[in-house]
Amino acid sequence: MTPSEIVKQLDLHVIGQSEAKKVLAVAVYSHFRKSAKPNPDAVEIAKGNILLIGSTGTGKTLLCETLSRILGVPFATADATSLAQTEFVNHEIEAIVQRLLEKADGDIARAQRGLVFIDEVDKLKSVSGQARAASGESVQHALLKIMEGSQVRLHSGQYIDTTQILFICGGAFVGLQTILDDTQTYGYVSLSEDDSQKVLDRLNARVKPTDLITYGLIPEFAGRLPIVARLQDLSKAMMVRVMTEPRNSIYRQFHQMLQSDRVELAIERIVFEQIADLAMEYKVGARSLRGIFEELMTDVLYVIPDNPAIRKVVITSLFDTPRLLSAQGTDIVLVRK
Ligand SMILES: Nc1ncnc2c1ncn2[C@@H]1O[C@H](COP(=O)(O)OP(=O)(O)OP(=O)(O)O)[C@@H](O)[C@H]1O
Ligand SMILES: [Mg+2]
């Protein structure tokens, strides 16, 4: 698959985030290309592990999951915060590799070309005054080795070589923007081209390793994440699309659920906008959409199985009771028992 084909596939499931999709697609394409055709004479291409930066609920995990599914490679996730809470970091790391092997159905060669997603790496930042052994910093150190490529010994005695495993790290990095704003380097470079401002903006929007170090990552860890992609906060319009467009969007899921009871679900556009408005206030990205949607649907899902006369559900506002219609299109009024 070429990078553009990968992006096209990602577009079916993930709304927006075109920059991040492009960066991911190119990185993954180069990675799997070189691991697919080992050529002894070729220039050694260093591994381009990826860092995804974006607020909560903007699609980081979704992007990685979708990516691994369309590439058909085994995929394991880990949470950096739980790594930081255990005394036995190396056991946990071994467990990640073990999960990858399970996803590969025990096929070591496949596992060795898999994808590992480590979420919330921003929580590993070193906090001054905190003892190193108990801090995220020690987890960063532990992760260095497998990200670089090493032999991990599993419980079963098998060894997994992590050299060809692609690591994608994710994190919200709250406060990073302030660091970026303070370290804008390219303001004084003078370019004569018309689009110089665009070029400058692009350079300044780049997250530099030094910014990550200022944030609290250790230099070795930041250095092993050469590719950085940023996700945008979702706008209201994007939230509406998240609910309706993807293959398995919330709306489609409920639509199908009712269909199996032979009930048609009709939700007016304004309702999605009202839900998106609420979700914007909750500030957890698309994460709150499902909860709000379920709340709206609970009453409907409760009454339908007992009332086979209901053939259609019409929802015109988040704040009005859904209308329940019969096959003839007349309102069905339920008598509370
Ligand atoms: N860009 C998007 N397109 C489609 N759905 C999205 C998008 N962003 C988020 N979602 C939806 O929101 C849910 C949460 O997204 P996801 O798990 O990817 O968030 P995240 O960025 O990993 O957040 P966190 O930092 O909290 O882990 C997903 O299940 C998905 O349905
Ligand atoms: Mg996530």
293 within 8 A of 283, measured Cβ to Cβ: no
pLDDT of res. 101: 95
Distance 59 CA to ligand 1 centre (A): 3
Distance 233 CA to ligand 1 centre (A): 11
Distance 155 CA to ligand 1 centre (A): 33
φ/ψ of residue 131, rounded to 5: -60, 135
Distance 159 CA to ligand 2 centre (A): 29
At residue 30 the predicted structure's pLDDT band, cuts being 50, 70 and 90, is: confident
Distance CA 33, CA 19 (A): 21
Which residue, 61, 54, 180, 160, is CA-closest to 114? 160
For the cut 70, the answer to whether the pLDDT of residue 255 exceeds it is yes
Mean pLDDT of 284-308: 93
pLDDT tens track for 46-70: 678 999 999 999 999 999 999 989 9
For the cut 90, the answer to whether the pLDDT of residue 159 exceeds it is yes
Which ligand ends up closest to the CA of 234?
1
pLDDT tens track for 178-202: 888 887 665 555 555 556 666 666 6
Distance CA 50, CA 170 (A): 8
User: Quick one: 171 exposed, middle or buried, by C-beta within 10 A (0-12, 13-18, 19+)?
Assistant: buried
Pocket test for ligand 1, best of 230, 287, 292 (most atoms within 8 A of CB): 287
At residue 134 the predicted structure's pLDDT band, cuts being 50, 70 and 90, is: low
φ/ψ of residue 101, rounded to 5: -65, -40
105-109, 131-135, 325-329: lowest mean pLDDT where?
131-135
Which ligand ends up closest to the CA of 67?
1
Q: Residue 260 is encoded by which pair of tokens?
A: 């199996």
Of residues 77 and 126, the one with the higher pLDDT is 77
pLDDT of res. 129: 62
At residue 35 the predicted structure's pLDDT band, cuts being 50, 70 and 90, is: low
The pTM of this model reads 0.84
Question: Under 8 Å CB-to-CB from 175, ≥6 apart: which residues?
Answer: 215
